[in-house]
Amino acid sequence: MKERLYLFDTTLRDGAQTTGVDFSVEDKRRIAQVVDDLGLDYVEGGYPGANDTDTAFFAAPPKFRHARLTAFGMTKRAGRSVDNDAGFQALLQSGSQAICLVAKSWDYHVRVALGISTEENIEGVSQSVKAVIASGREAMLDCEHFFDGYKGNRVHALAVAKAAYDAGARWVVLCDTNGGTLPHEVEAIVSDVAKVIPGTHLGIHTHNDTENAVANTLMAVRAGCRQIQGTLNGLGERCGNANLTSIIPTLLLKSEFADRFDTGVTPDRLSKLTHASRVLDEILNRAPFRHAPYVGESAFATKAGIHASAILKDPDTYEHVTPEAIGNQRRVLVSKQAGKSNVLDALARIGMSVDKDDPRVGQLLDEVKAREAQGYAYEAAEASFELLARRILGNVPRFFSVDSFRVMVERRHNARGELVTVSEAIVKVYINGDVEPLWSVAEGNGPVNALDSALRKDLGRYQKHIADIELVDYKVRILTGGTEAVTRVLVESLCTKTGERWFTVGVSPNIIDASFEALLDSINFKLVRDNAVVEHHAAIPGAAE
């Protein structure tokens, strides 16, 4: 019988410490759902009470199908009781299902940073873990700088870990906080700890400062750890954390681990891994790392030549795993079939069942490739992809036509003499079946907000379908440099009635035009989802949908 490995995602906390990364509450909810869809066991949401974003996230967390929502925080402060520690109480009131506490396991830090005795530190760990368990939560302890602490004072480091285990902690997590420990050291130290604490209660949390976080994690599993902590795409402070997008497929696809262990990630969920990786990059508004193991665009790419010819004949001997297993694709320049399986997978995700030999699948693939060459990216813009697919494979009604729009931005002094910037948008729309156009004018907080408000101000008979749409996020990426730079806009929309969210994309050298394209897709997607009734269309020459 296989042993169970438990996967713990810390993207929302450790990942948020990455230089240049600043998650919004909506970003965190979206990422959490992506991680949950992969089948991970724990999602660490952050530190409730430490900042407004984390507090708001825990106040209204997403609903999970697989993962347990976990709060992160410190053990009680020295000199205070559990009941008299406001920070600790915020953890207990967070609504999480599990709590991961962090404690000093290096005696040097206990003396210098905390200014207390090692005995006080160990007692604080014990009391804190017991308080978490008494609240009905699953308790974990993250032993900060454990490997450095073990090298400096093995007895104290083990005593901290043992105190948490004896107090009832489900997991005692050994953390390589500065990322300086090497694989052979990790294996030896974890093997020693496993003599004191059963491996079924040991976790590993590594950082990547020596480019060994993944290797250290795998060595810890070999030595006995059964919980793995890491982040999507290896996000994290300094050089990052253990990369779950590399660890997960290694556990499932490499026989040394796959033959011994089970995880909550099924083969079907594993096929979503590349998609999850690229969704995160889109949320961060950055280009995916092309050469990332497993999920990178070049991970299974080969230039034309002797290797390309051989791969087409016998890919199993040239690729260490099947790219489709993690949702990626083989990229051989001489192959016209590259990417077809990905399109079929994407169609299946949106509920469109199409025969793999349907010629329209190839047509859709060609269209997607042509658009990607222009700058479009559909990994995070599922709604725009669905509209594109339905236009090619089925039918998307033309609900309305935009004849023209105009956006004006004026900087002026208001009646009180204050210098203000005012944005105003005018949109001319023809509704299907109507001869006369509808004119909408709206002001907004910037040109895109004004355009969005004007577009959704009056769509005649379709207004009831879009009245509950709210634009909740807007990201811009400049794809090429120069004065004629191509711009990609990603828009997130929310149905306030149902809570459903969807993402649309627009591309143009003009940022307003790109934004407008994404806004149009957002509205059309909502109308398609609502099965809005279409009347006879009055054709308007040159009008846009």
Q: For the residues 399-408, what does the mean pLDDT come to?
A: 93
Buried b (16+ CB within 10 A) or exposed e, 35-50: bbbbbbbbbbbbbbbb
Amino acid at 2: K
pLDDT score at 539: 45
pLDDT confidence of residue 262: 97
pLDDT at 308 over 50: no
Distance of alpha carbon 202 from alpha carbon 474, whole angstroms: 41
Helix (H) or strand (E) holding 334: none
Residue pair 494/470 in contact by the 8 Å Cβ criterion: yes
pLDDT higher than 60, residue 365: yes
Q: How many CB atoms lie within 10 A of CB 489?
A: 24
User: What is the C-alpha separation between 452 and 515, in angstroms, rounded?
Assistant: 9
What per-residue confidence (pLDDT) applies to 377? 87
479: confidence class by pLDDT, cuts 50, 70, 90:
confident
Instruction: Give residue 380's pLDDT.
Output: 78
pLDDT of residue 535: 67
Mean pLDDT is lowest, of 108-117, 179-188, 359-368, for 359-368
Q: Which residue has the tokens 């099924």?
A: 266
3-state helix, strand, coil in the chain (%, to 5): 40, 20, 35
Contact predicate 413/444, CB 8 Å: no
pLDDT at 137: 96
Average pLDDT for the chain: 90
Would the pLDDT of 544 be above 60? no
What pLDDT, on a 0 to 100 scale, did the predictor assign at position 396?
84
Q: Does 303 score more than 70 pLDDT? A: no
The whole-number average pLDDT for the span 352-367 is 87
Higher pLDDT, 305 or 169: 169
pLDDT tens-digit profile of 36-91? 999 999 999 999 999 999 999 999 999 999 999 999 999 999 989 999 999 999 99
Predicted confidence band of residue 536 (pLDDT cuts 50, 70, 90)? low
**pLDDT tens-digit profile of 416-451?**
989 999 999 999 999 976 788 999 999 998 999 999
Beta strands 261-262 and 301-302 are unpaired
CA distance 407 to 426: 6
- Per-residue pLDDT, averaged over 182-187, amounts to 98
* Whether pLDDT at 301 is above 50: yes
Under the banding of pLDDT at 50, 70 and 90, the label for residue 341 is: low
373 pLDDT band, cuts 50/70/90, is confident
Q: How confident is the model over 446-471, as pLDDT tens digits?
A: 999 999 999 989 898 899 999 999 98
C-alpha–C-alpha distance, residues 452 and 196, integer Å: 61
DSSP state of 145: T
pLDDT digits (tens, 9 = 90+) for 389-398: 999 987 788 8
Beta carbons of 34 and 67 less than 8 angstroms apart: no
On the question of pLDDT at 312 being above 70, the answer is no
φ and ψ at residue 110, rounded to 5 degrees: -60, -45
pTM comes to: 0.76
pLDDT at 540: 43
Q: What is the pLDDT of residue 306?
A: 45
Q: Which two tokens stand for residue 429?
A: 């729309």
User: What is the reported pLDDT for 330?
Assistant: 76
CB 202 within 8 A of CB 196: no
Residue 42 to residues 36, 69, 471, 484, 533, Cα–Cα distance (Å)? 8, 6, 30, 45, 43
Express each pLDDT in 218-253 by its tens digit. 999 999 999 999 999 999 999 999 999 999 999 999
Q: Which residue has the higher pLDDT, 381 or 55?
A: 55
Average the pLDDT over 290-295 and give the result.
Answer: 94
3-class secondary structure, 486: coil
